[in-house]
């Protein structure tokens, strides 16, 4: 990757029943400063915040959100694809290569490589996973202030027992993904 402008991409929030999906992307010409980084799911909240600050201060990075309404309208896979296109459009230049986690794909306009468990294997994708996860979690804390009865501060919109209990008690709120709640509503 030396002397190449590479962007790593990952998403956070594909599975929750509320809130947006976040697409994080980080660009680099070197990943030396990322030694020791891990997939966001394998880090504590505190360590994610530390890495988030390091990444933001040392790399060009962006995060886009695709709303629950769009997810309901075009389905989650299409929403993630849309988010990838939007986040790539935010960078200062076109990358030589895009590295994507799991089964993610960019448009055919980009040279790309999809890596299964890329968030565990490729530090640039790990960095993107942290950008997406921290950004989405912060957005869910804002939603918690607006809808405290759902406890978004605890589960961040994922389908936990507590979350389903709150939906049964209060009904769905405006940020719930209706297509994910067909059996509950």
Question: What are the tens digits of pLDDT across the range 109-150?
Answer: 999 999 999 999 999 999 999 999 999 999 999 999 999 999
pLDDT score for 45: 87
pLDDT score for 2: 57
Closest CA to 129 of 149, 100, 151, 153: 100
Q: Which two tokens stand for residue 49?
A: 């915040």
CA distances from 42 to 51, 58, 69 (A): 12, 22, 29
pLDDT score for 34: 75
pTM: 0.92
Q: How far apart are alpha carbons 133 and 112 in whole angstroms?
A: 22
Q: 13-43 pLDDT, tens per residue?
A: 999 999 999 999 999 986 555 777 777 788 8
Q: How far apart are alpha carbons 162 and 171 in whole angstroms?
A: 13
Q: How far apart are alpha carbons 94 and 32 in whole angstroms?
A: 21
- Domains of the chain in start order, with CATH, are 6-179 (3.30.420.10)
């Amino acid at each position: 990757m030396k002397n190449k402008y590479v962007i790593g991409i990952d998403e956070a929030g594909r599975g929750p029943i509320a809130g947006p999906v976040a697409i994080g992307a980080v660009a680099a010409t070197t990943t030396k400063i990322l030694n020791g980084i891990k997939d966001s799911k394998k880090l504590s909240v505190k360590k994610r915040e530390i890495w988030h600050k390091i990444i933001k201060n040392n790399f060009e990075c962006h995060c886009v959100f695709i709303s629950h309404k769009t997810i309901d309208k075009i389905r989650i896979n299409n929403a993630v694809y849309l988010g990838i296109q939007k986040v790539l459009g935010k960078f200062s230049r076109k990358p030589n290569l895009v590295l994507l986690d799991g089964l993610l794909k960019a448009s055919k306009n980009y040279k790309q490589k999809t890596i299964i468990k890329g968030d565990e294997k490729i530090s640039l994708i790990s960095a993107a996973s942290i950008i997406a996860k921290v950004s989405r979690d912060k957005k869910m804390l804002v939603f918690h202030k607006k809808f405290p009865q759902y406890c978004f501060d605890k589960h961040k919109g994922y389908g936990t027992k507590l979350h389903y209990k709150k939906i049964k008690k209060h009904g769905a709120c405006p940020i719930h993904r209706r297509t994910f709640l067909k059996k509950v509503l």
